[in-house]
Structure 1
Amino acid sequence: MTTPSTTPAHASPAPAGPSQAGPAYASPADVDTYGPYGPGRVDVSNGWKRPRYPFQGRVTADGSSGFKAEPGRYHLYVAWVCPWAQRTAIARTLTGLDGVVSLSYVDDDRDARGWAFRERRGPDPVNGFTFLQQAYEATEPGYPGHLSVPVLWDRGTGRIVSNNFPDITIDLGTAFEEWADPAVRLYPPALRAEIDDLNAYIYDNVNDGTYRVAGTTTQDAYEAARERVVAALERLDERLAGRRFLHGPSITESDVRLWPTLARFDLFYNPLSRISERRLTDFPHLWAYARDLYQRPAFRETTDFGTFRFDGKPPFLGDGPARIDVEPYQADWEVPHGRERLAP
Structure 2
Amino acid sequence: MPAFNYTASDWPTFSFIRIPGLVTAHIWVSIPFCLLYLVAIAGNALLFILVRVEKTLHEPQFYFLAMLALTDLGLSLTTMPSVMAIFWFDVHHIGLNACLTQMFFIHTLSSVESGVLVAMAFDRLVAICAPLNYTRILTHCTVVCLSGAALIRGATLLAPLPFFLKTFPFCGANVLSHSYCYYPDMLNLACGDVTFSSVYGLVFVLCTFALDAVFILVSYMKILGTIMKLGTRDRNWRSLQTCACHLCTVFVFYLPLISLAVLHRYSQDTSPILYTTMSNTYLLMTPLLNPLVYSLKSRQIQGALRKRFWVQRVIAGE
Q: Shorter chain as normaliser: what TM range?
A: under 0.3
TM-score relative to the length of structure 1: 0.26
Larger CA Rg, structure 1 vs 2: 2
Decide which structure has greater helix share. Answer: 2
TM-score relative to the length of structure 2: 0.28
